[in-house]
Chain A
Amino acid sequence: MSRAIKSALALVAGLALVLAPGGSGDCGRRRINVVKNRQESPADWQTEAWFGRKLAARILGNIPLWDRPAANRYLNLVGGGLALYAPAPGAVFTFGILDSEKANAYATPGGYIFVTRGAIARMRNEAELAAVLGHEIAHVACHHMAKSLGLNRHQDSALGGMAVLAGGATGSFRQAISQGLDKGLEILLETGYRREQELEADRLGMQLAVMAGYRKDGLTNFLKRIHGFEPSASRNDKSHPVWKIRLRHLEETMDELAKAPEAGRTGEDRFHEAFASLFDSDSVDAAGRVPE
């Protein structure tokens, strides 16, 4: 074979590699993957559910549940509606309201999702609640905590073998779990997820809300209001990326969803009905604080 033809074939092979279609994507990644996504197994989801439940119990040990049955039931209906569209086949989603004035929301692996009473008090409608819950559901669907802690089987970490739940109850194993829970709580309450994970959750969460029929601007409206309420808190809150960057990213995502119908629902009436005690003008101040 002549040198020219060899060169031509090499060029063609290179082009074929560059231009060949890839596989499907994972959560918010823009580019279809060159390396195939690692297959999820039931054991991975079981590991996450097991760990996530322990972490949820710790959250509740530090911040009490706001035990209003009707409000919590409504929260589960809104969240459950979004979860129908979540690419998280092994998750069992459970939603709860935390009795805290601070505006925040948390998700643990496997599907335990919390939103604070203070966050709800600052919302105006169901679309905003759905946007926040969608964001947290996206953290679960994208395995953000599991990836950060190395929970799943294929990950080379102290917790990587946790899928063998029952068989691994050695002292060092328990210690690894304990430290993993500490680290998980630290991520949720202090350091936050990595910025790209937060932005990825924004993107998927917004899409979930729109798929469930809500207006697409729920999260931006809520974040702008929070930013207005608590400029100092926004500087100190490390659990979410700097507001300006996040808002810009959200605007871009909304542009990508430009073809989405503007007229999604807001669900204002049933939102206010479910959280009537939070919005009674006599029982809540401007910052959403409810007397004990």
Chain B
Amino acid sequence: MKFLRWILFAFCLVTALRPAGAAAETVYVHSRIAPLMAGPGLGYRRIGELRLGDMLEADRLESGWYHVVLKGANGWVSRLMVKEFPPAGAVKIGRKDKERLARHARIRPSSLASTAAARGLRAERNRSNLRLRTDYEALEKMEGYRVTPRQARSFVMKGTQDVAGN
């Protein structure tokens, strides 16, 4: 019996003192692209790219970088690019949302003014009125300048090639 206790104690001790990264943890890529590096840092060789939603087994954390395994290959990914749950999808604001926004924009001044009046904050109300101005026309114009991830990717690659060419 005493021998068994010692075995149990040794097992617990080994479990407790195992290296911190020995147990694999599942993490998911949360960026569209996450560089896979040969070592724990951006100065190492870039050996591949991970994609949004890739599920990885991380077995070690060093200097803010996880050592990960994906489909048999392994490398290092920044801790900032991954989380322990799958990524949520991108969202779009639809036309109905825009209509609701416009409706709220019309309603908002009165609700805020009444709140300010209830508090007796005339100066605050004046300042708020200034801030209540919105410009959805300019916002839609700005949204028209948005680029697709493919266009952005091409732009980044071109810059990298320009540097390499020099």
A and B pair up: yes
Residues of chain A touching chain B, judged by Cβ–Cβ distance below 8 Å, are: 1, 5, 8-9, 12-13, 15-16, 19-21, 23-28, 30, 32, 36-37, 39-42, 44-46, 49-50, 53-54, 56-58, 60-62, 64-65, 67, 69, 72-73, 75-81, 83-96, 110, 112, 126, 165-166, 169, 171, 174-175, 177-179, 181-182, 185, 204, 207, 210-213, 256-261, 263-265, 267, 270
A88 close to B152 (CB less than 8 A): no
Do B135 and A64 touch across chains, with their CB atoms under 8 A apart?
yes
Contact A84 B145 (CB under 8 A): no
**Given A73-B145, A94-B146, A174-B107, are A57 and B135 also a contact pair (CB < 8 Å)?**
yes
B residues lining the A interface (CB < 8 Å): 5, 8-9, 12-13, 15-18, 20-23, 25, 27, 30-35, 39, 41-44, 52-53, 58, 61, 63-64, 66, 78-85, 87-93, 96-97, 100-101, 104-105, 107-108, 111-112, 115, 128, 130-136, 138-139, 141-143, 145-149, 151-153, 155-156, 159-160, 162-163
Q: Are A89 and B89 in contact (CB under 8 A)?
A: yes
Question: CA A86 – CA B92 in complex, angstroms?
Answer: 18
In the complex the two chains form, what is the Cα distance from A61 to B151 in whole Å? Answer: 29
Contact across chains for A87 and B111 when beta carbons are under 8 A apart: no
Q: How far is the CA of A193 from the CA of B30 in the complex (A)?
A: 24
A177 to B112, CA, bound (A): 10
Pick the contact of A213: B20, B64, B107, B160 (CB < 8 A): B160
Is there an interface contact between B91 and A36, defined as CB atoms closer than 8 Å? no
Q: Which residues of B contact A261 (CB under 8 A)?
A: 42-43
Whole-angstrom CA separation of A93 from B148 in the bound complex? 10
